[in-house]
Amino acid sequence: VLIHNGKPVCESVIALQYIDEVWTNKPLLPSDPYLRSQARFWADFVDKKIYDFGRKTWTTKGDEQEAAKKEFIDC
């Protein structure tokens, strides 16, 4: 989570775009449209796949945790 001027920005893709627009002198995203789309894809992938499955793995126990581990490995 990014907090800027008291406002939270929760998703990685949105945080990347926000930082890129606010601090234009040091961009995080590439200027090339193709490379920029790749960066957005991976940020979104981490938000939707890695973080969610990882959180399930860390916050559950027993059979539910084992299922979460399998989902995490399969993603």
When pLDDT is averaged across residues 51-59 and rounded to a whole number, the result is: 78
Count the neighbouring beta carbons within 10 Å of the beta carbon of residue 9.
16
Count the neighbouring beta carbons within 10 Å of the beta carbon of residue 12.
20
Count the neighbouring beta carbons within 10 Å of the beta carbon of residue 61.
8
pLDDT band at 1 (very low <50, low <70, confident <90, very high): low
Is there a contact between 56 and 71 (Cβ–Cβ < 8 Å)? yes
pLDDT band at 12 (very low <50, low <70, confident <90, very high): confident
Count the neighbouring beta carbons within 10 Å of the beta carbon of residue 43.
19
Eight-class DSSP state of 34: H
Percent of the chain with pLDDT over 70: 97
